[in-house]
Structures are given as C-alpha cells and as structure tokens.
Amino acid sequence: MVTKIEPGPGQESVWDYPRPPRLERSRKHVVVRFNGETIASSTRAFRVLETSSPPTYYIPRDDVRMERLTPVDRTTFCEWKGDASYFDIVAGDRSSHRAAWTYDDPTPAFREIKDAIAFYPGRVDECTLDGEAVRPQAGKYYGGWVTDDIVGPFKGEPGTEGW
C-alpha cells in the first residue's frame, strides 16, 4: 500500500494528479542545458500531470535549439498521448542518447503538445524551473521533473514496479 506524503504549503502531491493524465500550461521558466549550452528556454511550456509521477514538461519547438537534436530510430506508445519519437542531443564533443522525445501526432486530449519537446532531466546536465534545479524522477523509463514543490512517493523509486 502506498502512503501519500501530505503536501505542505505551496506543494502539490502527485497522488492528487489525475488518471488519465491532464495537460496544463506552465507559467514557470523552463531551461535545459547540456555541455555548456542552453538547449531549450521557455515560458510557454506545458506540463503533463499523472497520478504517482512528477510533472513532465513539454517545450514548444520554437524555444528549443532543434539543430542540437538528432532524430533516432526509436518509438514507444503511450496509451494516453500516442506514439512518441526520440532524439539524441549533440552539443560540441558530447552527446546524450535518447535524451528527448516528442509526439508528432498526439491523441486529441494532448494535441497542444504536438511537436513540443520533452527532456529527461537525468540525461542532460541541468534542467531548471524558475531557477530551481530539477532532480530526475527515479527509473530509466520516466521523465518527470522533481522540484521542492512536488511530493510523492513517486513511481520509479525502488519497490514501485507494481503500481
């Protein structure tokens, strides 16, 4: 049985997020950095909220340095959003494999993130939200952004495989 952490003032619990997930605009300044370069910077991102997971942020392509992203031959399927395709990030002499993804043809409920780019915080050097350093969600599969205003427990941590 999962014991929800009660949120304090100004915090959200991932256990109050819906299933199926919800898409909402974020007013936070979202920044992604890799190998000394700002790969993305936006105040127009969306976040996806789903029970037991920290939010995932989707950044409009106009706010992403797309020349630093190389498409890879990999797709996955999300029952809520549809087929995802992936990118490597290449900046200078470094690269990060499958560090970002997009939905080129999302389901109607998620049409606003069509072509927006999401990044795995653990596969880049730094992600920030309004200047706060993001911590990656545990587990290799998940791309949630953990900040001080989000409480869990979070899917992906040890012992959560059955959730």
Average pLDDT over residues 141-145: 91
- Taking 90 as the threshold, does the pLDDT of residue 98 lie above it? yes
Rg from Cα positions in the chain: 15
* Mean pLDDT, the chain, integer: 95
Statement: 12-151 belongs to CATH 3.60.90.10: no
- State yes or no: pLDDT of 76 exceeds 70: yes
Least Cα distance to 112 among 43, 56, 63, 45 occurs for 45
Band of pLDDT at residue 103, cut at 50, 70 and 90: very high
Dump pLDDT digits (tens) for 51-72. 999 999 999 999 999 999 999 9
The DSSP string of 42-99 is: ESS-EEEEETTEEEEEEE-GGGB-GGGEEEEEEEEEETTTEEEEEEEEEETTEEEEEE
Average pLDDT on 101-105 reads 97
pLDDT above 80: residue 160: yes
Its pTM stands at: 0.96
Residue 141: which pLDDT band, with cuts at 50, 70 and 90? confident
